[in-house]
């Protein structure tokens, strides 16, 4: 067992649902593990867990975060490990409807224990701004704000940024919580036609640094069908490349940002879809 580590805690959050938090948690977690980091991804979506399914670990879940908090299970009994990527672990959420069981002290204890055993803790936040979301961000050193280039998503992200600056431990200590914008489900051709908010628009409105731009891609759907993060299942695909670049930026590397270009896929090209 690798004691004596001191993990960096990330929260993947957004306010709005369906923007790609769970997809991104799985993809970034797998990418970090692939780059040699020891990673645990933690599902905070109590009652609606999905990270296990995205990772293909659903058959293996015995215990969950709330069992560990309640003392029903030890942390090492609840963790499940990926056989494809030895450094990648999952701490599943509970399917219980009793969200009260997720206590602030309990979460603090689990995160403190995880910190000594991993290099990275990646917390997948539930949608909304309630307890689950605030507990997921509570101990974060840095936040990844997942945003779609679309008005309601940008508005909710702005709200979440406010919470990060008030409800986290770091904020309460008067420290700054690092924030990174991850734009997902980006449609290059819609942006090109001016049908979708541009990257510049979103950056100007939210004014936090950009971590990456993940294009809309059927590889993401395929990866979720087979239960494997896209960075593992289709490592060379455009969304996986974008996730890998984002991961290296998280690790402090300085690499140029690629705006996904207008590759419309072979079918669209064949049928020569024209800009409207």
Partner 1 sequence: MNLLSMFRRGSAPLARERLQILLAHERDAFDQPDLLGILREEILAVISRHVSFDPEKVQITMDRGKTVSTLAVDIEIPNRRRSSGPMRPYTRLMFEADAATARSQWTNGLV
Ligand X SMILES: Nc1ncnc2c1ncn2[C@@H]1O[C@H](COP(=O)(O)OP(=O)(O)O)[C@@H](O)[C@H]1O
Q: What are the residues binding ligand X (CB under 6 A)?
A: 14, 17-23, 127, 184-185, 214, 216-217, 220-221, 224, 239
- Start-to-end CA distance of the chain, whole Å, equals 58
Distances in Å between the Cα of 59 and the Cα atoms of 63, 79, 161, 223 are: 12, 13, 35, 17
Query: Which 226-255 residues touch partner 1, going by CB under 8 A?
Result: 226-228
The single residue among 109, 190, 222, 249 that binds partner 1, judged by CB under 8 A, is 222
Return the residue of 65, 90, 129, 250 that touches partner 1, per CB under 8 A.
90
Site string for partner 1, 40-69 (x = CB under 8 A): -------------x-xxxxxxxxx------
Whole-angstrom distance, CA of residue 246 vs CA of residue 115: 22
What is the bridge-based pairing of β-strands 88-91 and 39-43?
parallel
Q: How far is the CB of 17 from ligand X (least distance, A)?
A: 4
Rounded-to-integer distance, Cα 189 and Cα 204, Å: 21
Judged by phi (left if over 0) then psi (alpha if -120 to 50, else beta), residue 242 lies in alpha
Regarding 270 and contact with partner 1 (CB under 8 A), the answer is no
Q: Confirm or reject binding of residue 101 to partner 1 (CB under 8 A).
A: no
**Candidate residues 8, 16, 117, 241; the one interacting with partner 1 per rule CB under 8 A:** 117
Contact indicator for 127, 159 with CB cutoff of 8 Å? no
**Bridge partners of residue 215, in order along the sequence:** 186
Among 37, 43, 45, 82, interactor with partner 1 by CB under 8 A: 82
Least distance in angstroms from the C-beta of 77 to partner 1 = 6
Helix (H, G, I), strand (E, B) or coil at 271: coil
Contact (Cβ atoms closer than 8 angstroms) between residue 214 and residue 182:
yes
- Find the shortest distance in angstroms from Cβ 53 to partner 1: 7
Contact between residue 182 and residue 24 where contact means Cβ atoms under 8 Å apart: yes
Beta-bridge mates of residue 210: 181
Q: Which does 18 bind (CB under 5 to 8 A by kind): Mg ion, ligand X, partner 1, none?
A: ligand X
For residue 22, state whether it binds Mg ion (rule: CB under 5 A).
yes
Q: Using CB under 8 A, pick the residue from 95, 128, 171, 251 that binds partner 1.
A: 95
Q: How far is the CB of 45 from Mg ion (least distance, A)?
A: 6
Q: How near is the Cβ of 37 to ligand X at its closest, in Å?
A: 21
DSSP string for 10-68: EEEE-SSSSSSHHHHHHHHHHHHHHTT--EEEEE--TTS--HHHHHT-GGG----HHHH
Contact residues for partner 1, defined by CB under 8 A: 1, 53, 55-63, 74-77, 79-84, 89-90, 95, 117, 221-222, 224-228
Contact residues for Mg ion, defined by CB under 5 A: 21-22
């Amino acid at each position: 067992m690798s004691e004596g580590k001191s993990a960096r805690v990330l929260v993947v959050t957004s306010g709005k649902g369906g923007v790609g938090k769970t997809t991104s948690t799985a993809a970034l977690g797998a990418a970090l593990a692939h780059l040699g980091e020891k990673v645990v991804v933690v599902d905070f979506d109590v009652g609606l867990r999905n990270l296990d399914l995205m990772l293909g670990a659903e058959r293996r879940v015995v215990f969950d975060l709330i069992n560990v908090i309640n003392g029903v299970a030890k942390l090492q009994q609840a963790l499940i490990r990926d056989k494809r990527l030895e450094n990648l672990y999952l701490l599943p959420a509970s399917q219980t409807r009793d969200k009260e069981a997720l206590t602030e002290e309990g979460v603090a204890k689990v995160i403190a224990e995880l910190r000594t055993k991993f290099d990275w803790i990646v917390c997948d936040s539930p949608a909304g701004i309630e307890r689950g979301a605030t507990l997921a961000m509570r101990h974060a050193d840095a936040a990844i704000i997942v945003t779609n280039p679309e008005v309601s998503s940008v508005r909710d992200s702005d709200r979440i940024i406010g919470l990060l600056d008030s409800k986290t431990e770091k904020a309460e200590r008067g420290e700054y919580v690092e924030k990174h914008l991850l734009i997902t489900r980006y449609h290059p051709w819609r942006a090109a036609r001016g049908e979708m908010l541009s990257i510049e628009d979103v950056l100007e409105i939210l004014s936090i640094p950009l971590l990456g731009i993940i294009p809309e891609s059927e590889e993401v759907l395929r990866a979720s069908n087979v239960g494997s993060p896209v960075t593992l299942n289709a490592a060379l695909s455009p969304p996986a490349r974008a996730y890998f670049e984002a991961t290296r930026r998280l690790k402090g590397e300085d690499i140029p940002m690629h705006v996904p270009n207008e590759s419309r896929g072979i079918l669209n090209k064949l049928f020569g879809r024209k800009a409207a």
